[in-house]
């Protein structure tokens, strides 16, 4: 980038980025409540503390600028101490007190933890492990989602809460259950429900046998009763699953469906009893693979998620950035942080403490990526139970110290930013497909050691992060026409319909990138009888005649005169790419691979297809590749960023906001457009902006 003051091309670049992104469907922004204020608060458990302490906590929240708490997601037994007998008096008292301090309420349906009386009275409501042993009561998430009694009781407490609190002061929304992700149950109820699900999906055993490929090993089933739960997972990871891959693929889809159905029951009840009164959301867990968040999100007004990026030593939070973009992509809407890192996390052991300024910059990263509010988990570190080491804004002693003060600072700054944030969202010219079907396929058959969709996406995503480029993570059924560049890492499941969609995208002028293991399997998890990359071969202009894994003690060198300087290192996997019209962008320095390519680009229709046939060890490989693909797609960077600094744009009809976040503990200098308002300091920018450690800047462009 030219560093001369009068020739900085940032605004030209910005206008290009905006023009590319504005063609997308405008997101419906309804995460903020009707009064337009951001939700800022903490997860609170009045049942954990003496009642006289409640007002002390609410007063401290009010002084910190909080306006919301989440309550009751683990309080089933306190609200229904015995079947059909409800006691909401204690919660009514807290709600009344919270109303005096103008603190709004999000209620959690408490079905993630069954009361002891449920387990005693209905023992089959407890889940069964794959060993055949039933889970003992005493933890959380230990229920069977197929059990009729548990479903009935869950609907009962949900309905009772909705009726009681429909007109309660301050109640603005609901969180269903808590962190859906199982458990996976192996009881007879689940087996019978699985069989019924398969009957609905396939209709006939002939279709099921064909889809599962049961001619292998003579596993043809001739009656529905011959179907058993496939051997797909080991409890401790000590052995590899040997079940039919098609059956395992369906088993994982079925278990996702069980969670979605369970939530649907609750959503239907709340919508019937509280129509148009309260929003409904759920706290997702970033990249947990057990449940399709696209399916789970369909019933929700917007999604929320639980963000815990602080574990080991300080590093660049690529994963939290990528997760935020997935959360936004689930419904193509802004989202809420339902649980935000407040301090050291841990159950048996605790991880490192957040450093001064770190809580604040964690919050701003999510704000930049589309969060319209956030709730810290938790308010105060609990003195009992499994999470005594999962720290809150206040410690065990209940004193408002450093972490509380930092949260209060964030709340105050957010209030000042509200008028600029309102009506803005993230708009991207780049999309990465995040596909649960490929995740479920690779779960049982990774192909090569360590292969998984999340890591495959991260290799490219992190390079976009370093380049300061907005990215959407989207489903396979998303309209791709607004994007200039689409990536499909590890898309092993490639039905013909999806291949046709991707082909049309390129023919209409899009730039598409595919990579290792693309198009191996069909929609039933059966391998295609095609030369890879299958139906995308014409788009990519290549054929992959052979491939192989690379053992950890071995590697190949990758050379390119166009993408990077020097040589890079091929690890894990290698495609022997035979160009059929494609241009070779990188090759291998190995005698038996001289005629094969590592990276190719092919012009097809009005667009182009890139193929990457290996996994590189060095970040520089992906930086060079991403730069080349951005140029090919006509997408320009808006800034040149120093290492460790993140840049992200939120845009609306009235405001365009540039977020700059220093994720390092070193001072960083960034060249920025001159004379623009920096909203946090209320000052005008020069040609350069200095960011101290963990510092954040928000520039109105």
Catalytic (active-site) positions: 179, 339
H/E element holding 189? helix 188-202
What DSSP string runs through 361-415?
HHHHHHHHTTEEEEEEE-SB--SSSTTTTS--SB-TT----HHHHHHHHHHHHHH
- Prior bond to 535 cis, omega within 30? no
Q: How many residues does the chain have?
A: 701
- Residue 307 · residue 346 · CB < 8 Å: no
First to last CA, the chain: 19
Pairing assessment for the beta strands 696-700 and 542-549 based on DSSP bridges: unpaired
Q: Mutual orientation of helices 436-444 and 453-467 as an angle, nearest 10°?
A: 130
Write the CB contacts of 682 (distance below 8 Å, at least 6 apart in sequence): none
In b/e form, how buried is each residue of 227-244, taking b as 16+ CB within 10 angstroms?
bebbbbbeeeeeeeeebb
Q: What are phi and psi of 149, to 5 degrees?
A: -65, -40
- Residue 176 · residue 266 · CB < 8 Å: yes
What is the rounded distance in angstroms from the CA atom of residue 373 to the CA atom of residue 554?
A: 47
The token pair that represents 344 in the structure block: 């050291």
- Residue 48 · residue 42 · CB < 8 Å: no
């Amino acid at each position: 980038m030219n560093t001369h003051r009068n020739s900085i091309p940032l605004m030209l670049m910005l206008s290009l980025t905006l023009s590319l992104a504005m063609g997308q469907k405008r997101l419906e922004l309804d995460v903020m409540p009707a009064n337009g204020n951001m939700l800022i608060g903490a997860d609170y458990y009045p049942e954990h503390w003496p009642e006289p302490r409640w007002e002390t906590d609410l007063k401290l929240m009010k002084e910190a600028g909080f306006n919301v708490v989440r309550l009751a997601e683990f309080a089933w037994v306190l609200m229904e101490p015995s079947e059909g007998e409800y006691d909401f008096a204690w919660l009514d008292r807290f709600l009344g007190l919270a109303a005096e301090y103008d603190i709004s309420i999000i209620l959690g349906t408490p079905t993630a933890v069954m009361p002891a009386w449920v387990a005693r009275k209905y023992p089959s409501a407890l889940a069964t492990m794959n060993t055949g042993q039933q889970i003992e009561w005493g933890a959380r998430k230990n229920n069977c989602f197929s059990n009729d009694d548990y479903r009935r009781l869950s609907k009962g407490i949900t309905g009772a809460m909705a009726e009681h609190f429909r007109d309660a002061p301050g109640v603005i929304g609901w969180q269903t259950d808590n962190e859906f992700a199982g458990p996976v149950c192996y009881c007879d109820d689940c087996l019978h429900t699985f069989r019924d699900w398969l009957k609905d999906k396939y209709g006939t055993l002939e279709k099921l046998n064909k889809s599962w490929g049961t001619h292998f090993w003579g596993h043809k089933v001739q009656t529905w009763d011959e179907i058993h739960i496939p051997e797909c997972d080991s409890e401790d990871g000590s052995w590899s699953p040997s079940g039919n891959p098609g059956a395992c693929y369906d088993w994982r889809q079925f278990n996702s469906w069980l969670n979605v159905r369970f939530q649907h029951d609750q959503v239907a009840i709340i919508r019937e009893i509280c129509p148009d009164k309260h929003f409904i959301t759920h706290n997702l867990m970033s990249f947990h693979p057990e449940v399709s968040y696209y399916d789970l999100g369909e019933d929700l007004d917007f999604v929320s998620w639980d963000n815990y990026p602080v574990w080991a030593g300080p590093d660049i939070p690529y994963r939290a950035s990528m997760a935020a973009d997935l959360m936004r992509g689930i419904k193509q809407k802004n989202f809420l942080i339902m649980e935000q890192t407040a301090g050291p996390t841990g159950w048996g052991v605790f991880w490192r403490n957040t450093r001064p300024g770190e809580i604040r910059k964690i919050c701003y990263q999510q704000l930049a990526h589309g969060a319209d509010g956030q709730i810290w988990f938790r308010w105060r570190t609990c003195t009992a139970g499994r999470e005594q080491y999962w720290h809150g804004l206040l410690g065990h002693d209940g004193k408002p110290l450093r972490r509380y003060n930092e949260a209060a600072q964030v709340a105050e700054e957010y209030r000042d930013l509200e008028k600029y944030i309102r009506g803005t969202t993230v708009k991207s010219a780049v999309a990465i497909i995040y596909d649960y079907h490929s995740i479920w396929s690779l779960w049982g058959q990774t192909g090569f050691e360590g292969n998984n969709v999340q890591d495959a996406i991260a290799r490219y995503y992190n390079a976009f992060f370093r380049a300061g480029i907005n990215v959407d993570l989207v489903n396979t059924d998303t309209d791709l026409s607004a994007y200039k560049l689409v990536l499909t890492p590890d898309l092993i499941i490639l039905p013909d319909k999806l291949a046709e969609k991707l082909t049309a995208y390129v023919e209409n002028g899009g730039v598409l990138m595919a990579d290792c293991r693309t198009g191996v399997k069909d929609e039933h998890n059966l391998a295609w009888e095609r030369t890879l990359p299958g139906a995308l071969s014409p788009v990519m202009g290549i054929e992959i005649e052979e491939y192989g894994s690379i053992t950890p003690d071995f590697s190949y060198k990758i050379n390119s005169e166009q993408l990077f300087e020097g040589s890079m290192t091929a690890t894990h996997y290698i495609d022997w790419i035979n160009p059929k019209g494609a241009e070779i962008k990188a090759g291998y320095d190995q005698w038996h691979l001289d005629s094969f390519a590592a990276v190719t680009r092919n012009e097809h229709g009005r667009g182009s297809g890139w193929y990457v046939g290996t996994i590189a060890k060095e970040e520089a490989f992906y930086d060079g590749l991403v730069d080349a693909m951005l140029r090919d797609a006509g997408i320009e960077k808006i800034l040149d960023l120093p290492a460790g600094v993140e840049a992200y744009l939120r845009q609306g009809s009235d405001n365009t906001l540039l977020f700059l976040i220093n994720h390092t503990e070193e001072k960083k200098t960034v060249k920025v457009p001159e004379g623009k308002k920096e909203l946090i300091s209320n000052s005008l920018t020069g040609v350069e902006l200095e960011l101290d450690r963990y510092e954040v800047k928000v520039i109105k462009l």
